[in-house]
Structure 1
Amino acid sequence: MAASGGIGLSAARMFRPGVAHATSVPSYDPGARFDLAVSEVELRRNSAGRVLMARIYQPKGPGPFPTVLDLHGGAWNGKSRFAEEPMDRALAASGLLVVAVDMTLAPEAPYPACVQDANFAVRWLKANAATWNGDTSKIGIYASSSGGHVAELLAMRPRDPRYNSIPLASVPNVDATVAYVAMRSPISSTFARYENAERRGNEGMMKSNKMFFNPWETIHESNPQEILERGEKVMLVPFLIMQGALDDNMLPEIQEKFVSTYRAAGGECDYHLFANSVHEWVAEPGPQTDKARDMVKEFIARQLKFD
């Protein structure tokens, strides 16, 4: 792990996101059950010419339903909107409009391209969620692994000109602020995770990092851990971080350092360590997967009640 010594924590600034569009939040019962309508629409075409799609999981009911954006993992180099389909379906079936989006992959364009996609997706959802009976007064994010890294950057820097550079002509004045972020195994310290890959001799992971962080110094500029330690002016929204105790990809001690730093900077961060769980434990059915789904639902319910 990079030596840092907690530099500048007192200088980190906390901002709460403003309410977008609606003046009240729809009720949400995490124990509810809805049938779903699943559809797909085009989000945008990226610089490589690939059409990025959005997969819509819409509860069948009167609504409107609180809206959640899903950002997939894949070490910034792989996967798509389908990566977290079981979690997306579980969340949507409880009465949430869940929208999973493709993001630009590192072989197409390095950092910050996928963060720009996520920023655009938030603004696009704020403009279009009503089409699928969604409410965006408190739009939130669910994200996994490298998608969690993207989500942390998006939440902490929603108005960063590097990230909101893709125009949305229909609503030019809508910003990308979000109300909360729920994550599974987020890459909260990019450089520490790379050093772990070096120690393990994980050539594939090292290559994925070098493909994405190009030029290499962006691994520090875009490191959520180091952003806080530098005392950057950031927005601090409530986080939920779920971490596998057996994760050898993003080590628990690295994650726990980030949680401590985020809290010290003034942010709220619920942290839960899942026993006997690896990096992608939610990919397999089982008690710990069920626990993770319930935990995300309960966290979202609390955020929607918060004023």
Structure 2
Amino acid sequence: MRVFNSSPRCVPPHACHDFPKLPPNLEFKMNQRCILCFLLGVLFVTGARAQQADRAPAAGQNLLENWLKMDRDGDGKLSNDETTGLMKRFFDRNDANKDGFLDRQELEALQKRLASNRGRSTQNANRNRQQGMSTEQLLKNAPEDVIIEAGIAYRPGDSKAWQLDLVRPKAAASEPRPGIVFVHGGGWRSGDKRAATFLRGAIEYAQKGYVCITVNYRLTGEAPFPACIEDVKCAVRWFRAHAKQYNVDPNRLGGYGNSAGAHLVSMLGLCPPAAKLEGDGPYQDQSSLLQAVCASATPSDFGLFPRSPRGDSRFKGEADQREALIRACSPITHVHQQAPPFLLIHGTADGTVNVKHGDVFAEALKKAGADVTYMRIDGAGHGVYNQHSDRTKPAMETFFSRTLGKQKQTP
């Protein structure tokens, strides 16, 4: 395992450079995006509320019918003994008249509260998503040497999260090109595929000859874990299924992410189909595994985080099921002998994801025999990748050139 400290000698000086600046008119337009996003948000929320109003009665009726199936004695109401899971846990709270039963009126009131909460969660998720530039701005200001295909749906369905942007070189190539998957961060509850770091990264690497996708996924306000993992896996399967169309070598796919995005690309490098986290999306005949992973400020083991109701709420299921899911969603759980090469970057002063996550992850990969390079940067915080871009960016370029620059075996 190669371990680099904060010394600038960890990367050759001649390799140091930064992502190219976006054109001035694009920088200006990005500064104006808040106004545009506000107007779009008003239109979207209005439409979403109308759609929810149309769907609510049918969905509520189905939920009510499912609850009443617990009525074993057929008296039309639920006793505490007849309930299970969260219904049992919050029985007293929902028993408005305190008669020891949940009658139809109380169940209908509960259904309305849940529907209202779901509506707010979806609106919050969509509001958290409004961080990137518009498709019109993106296409208008694209560099001349790349082609951008924006807003591609990587699976059918009604979630606006199931989209990616693809950036590829305009110049023709006689051989298939390697690909890179960029996954945004944001604590799994916010962020967007067009966040500046990831959009600039996709453009720069396309200019270097890679075919890149930058991916959105369902945030926890829309769907709890493991939805985000299932979504990015589906996006990679889509990438492979369309490899011929975009002249991509499906055996040379890498990924980069920071924070929550680092967690997700690590799962893309390690988590096999046997873990049953592929989801119900299409292209199940394609592999969702990457051949090289660069991850900065990586949450590698959810067991290292202090437990809290907010943290646990990211994961679906009852308490006993949640523990197993937390382990299954931790990248360190899936470290194995055939793990792909990893470049891990972590700051010792990271107050969001403690450096211990990087330490134990790098050590686990090393023990498994993986090709792992660990840049442990003294004094760096959670934004380690951008804070020390004079070293991290050329290190990532060298890493992908080394690991994706030749034909790899089928995953």
TM superposition score normalised by structure 2 = 0.57
1:111-135 CA-to-partner distances (Å, cap 9, x unmatched) read 1111111111111101113333333
Is 2:402 aligned against 1:302? yes
- In structure 1, give the amino acid aligned to 2:148: V
- More moved, 297-306 vs 272-281: 272-281
- In structure 2, give the amino acid aligned to 1:294: P
1:41-75 CA-to-partner distances (Å, cap 9, x unmatched) read 222355x6335211112122123421111122111
Specify the alignment match of 1:36 in structure 2: 146
1:20-53 CA-to-partner distances (Å, cap 9, x unmatched) read xxxxxxxxx999x99322221222355x633521
Specify the alignment match of 2:286 in structure 1: 174
- In structure 2, give the amino acid aligned to 1:145: S
1:150-299 equivalent positions in 2, closer than 5 A: 150-160=264-274, 162-168=276-282, 172-192=284-304, 194-195=305-306, 209-215=311-317, 216-217=322-323, 218-228=325-335, 235-283=338-386, 288-299=388-399
SS in 1 for 2:213: strand
Q: Pick from 54, 58, 62 the counterpart of residue 168 of structure 2.
A: 58
| RMSD between aligned residues | 2.8
Do the aligned partners of residues 87 and 71 (structure 1) sit closer, same or farther apart at CA in structure 2, a change above 3 Å counting? same
Specify the alignment match of 2:217 in structure 1: 103
1:117-136 equivalent positions in 2, closer than 5 A: 117-136=231-250
- In structure 1, give the amino acid aligned to 2:292: Y
Residue 173 (structure 1) shift:
2.5
SS in 2 for 1:130: coil
Do the aligned partners of residues 37 and 130 (structure 1) sit closer, same or farther apart at CA in structure 2, a change above 3 Å counting? same
1:188-246 CA-to-partner distances (Å, cap 9, x unmatched) read 12221x22xx7xxxxxxx56522322344122332233455xxxx67411111111232
Measure the CA separation in 1 of the matches of 2:185 and 2:217.
10
Residue 186 (structure 1) shift:
1.4
Do the aligned partners of residues 223 and 173 (structure 1) sit closer, same or farther apart at CA in structure 2, a change above 3 Å counting? closer
- In structure 2, give the amino acid aligned to 1:44: R
SS in 2 for 1:129: coil
- In structure 1, give the amino acid aligned to 2:396: V
SS in 2 for 1:291: helix
Specify the alignment match of 1:68 in structure 2: 180
- In structure 1, give the amino acid aligned to 2:246: W
- In structure 2, give the amino acid aligned to 1:143: G
Do the aligned partners of residues 145 and 50 (structure 1) sit closer, same or farther apart at CA in structure 2, a change above 3 Å counting? same
Q: Which has the larger radius of gyration?
A: 2
Measure the CA separation in 1 of the matches of 2:399 and 2:189.
29
- In structure 2, give the amino acid aligned to 1:186: T
1:137-152 equivalent positions in 2, closer than 5 A: 137-152=251-266
Aligned-pair identity (%): 22
- In structure 1, give the amino acid aligned to 2:346: Q
Measure the CA separation in 1 of the matches of 2:274 and 2:337.
10
Measure the CA separation in 1 of the matches of 2:314 and 2:239.
26
SS in 1 for 2:288: coil
Do the aligned partners of residues 130 and 207 (structure 1) sit closer, same or farther apart at CA in structure 2, a change above 3 Å counting? farther
Residue 139 (structure 1) shift:
1.2
Q: Which runs of 5+ in 2 are unaligned?
A: 1-14, 21-143
Measure the CA separation in 1 of the matches of 2:211 and 2:399.
16
Measure the CA separation in 2 of the matches of 1:161 and 1:242.
26
Measure the CA separation in 2 of the matches of 1:54 and 1:45.
13
Structure with the higher helix share, 1 or 2: 2
- In structure 1, give the amino acid aligned to 2:376: L
Structure with the higher strand share, 1 or 2: 1
Residue 272 (structure 1) shift:
0.6
Measure the CA separation in 1 of the matches of 2:289 and 2:277.
12
Q: Which runs of 5+ in 1 are unaligned?
A: 1-28, 199-205
